[in-house]
Amino acid sequence: MTDQAPHKRKNLLTGDWVLVSPHRLQRPWQGEASKAAATPAISYDPDCYLCPGNKRAGGQSNPAYSGVYVFDNDYPALLPEAGQPSEDPLLVAEPETGVCRVICYSPDHSRTMSQMSAEEITAVVEVWGEQYASLASNPDIAAVTIFENRGAMMGASNPHPHGQLWATSTTPPELARECDQQAAHFEQTGRYLLLDYLDREEKADERIVCATEHFVALVPFWAAWPFETIVLPRRAVGNLADLNASEQKSLAKLLGDLTRAYDRLFDTSFPYTMGWHQQPVRESAEGFLLHAHFYPPLLRSATVRKHMVGFEMLAMPQRDITPETAAERLRAVST
């Protein structure tokens, strides 16, 4: 297998496969090329329902907050009340309850994570941990997913820098699959799958983008999205609440470095979906390691994005640019 030969790579976390076809970069491109999304340049927007002091869409008013601000989502995807399960074996439905919250990173309407200081990002990391710990004590919660959709291209409904938290009464399928893969490795070897993988990546030094004392960001060997990355801790830790103060600061610095590298790559406010996978609250998760996924859609420039269509929807994900090339390009613009 040569660097330009088509091949497939296995995702260690899910067991899925990704088709890699680097030779396709030579084909002519006549696909979509939309205008780059503009970044808001004002620190306060009187029409923004997330800015301090403003009235939200649901009618409540935000306090004049000066740091990180968390509130229950006015239009949550999950509710505390349970519905009724179906009794039809072919039309299967089960109730799902939970909690949905919004986490405003900053009172400043224009400052995304890439523009925040390490101290400001540390405050966000601390709140993430506090939210996990608080919800873990709720007997009706099984898993806590913290995520951010950045940019209109990724469906963000508001440009104010913020993320979300969805706490569910059952473990979501994607997290459950990752738990199974990691538990199987731990049972076979007595070691953490992602720590073994990180050790291999640090020795190879091909796909690492940036690193701090306690965390590493790299393009995974099995990445499906062109500039996808995964953030891994250097020690066995299962959730954000278990990070110590030094690790919180180290993670904050890495998140700042990584998001700035994304912005520099195509000289734009880089869109992405970012999310934390943490150990389930109510289930055993041997060998599970805390980690974050960054899934950015951009492919060739600030206006050309990757679409998962055709073969990818019907068979398996496919990429043209290799993970090694993606990591090299991100590394070149990281601090």
What's the rounded Cα separation, in Å, for the pair 139 and 90?
30
What's the rounded Cα separation, in Å, for the pair 163 and 240?
15
What's the rounded Cα separation, in Å, for the pair 227 and 244?
29
Q: Who's near 20: CB < 8 A, 6+ residues apart?
A: 6, 7, 8, 9, 318, 319, 322, 323
- Which is catalytic among the residues 162, 185, 277, 293? 162
Whether 293 is catalytic: no
Q: Who's near 258: CB < 8 A, 6+ residues apart?
A: 209, 210, 217, 229, 231, 294, 334
Q: How far is CA 324 from the centre of its chain?
A: 20
Whether 97 contacts 81, CB under 8 Å: yes
- The DSSP symbol for 34 reads P
Q: How far is CA 140 from the centre of its chain?
A: 24
Residue appearing with tokens 């995807």: 77
Q: Which residues of 223-322 form beta strands (DSSP E)?
A: 229-233, 272-277, 291-295, 318-319
Helices (H) and strands (E) in the chain, counts: 6, 12
238: tokens are: 């299962």
Residue 188 CA: distances (Å) to CA of 183, 238, 286, 288: 9, 19, 11, 14
Residues annotated as catalytic (active site), given as ranges: 162
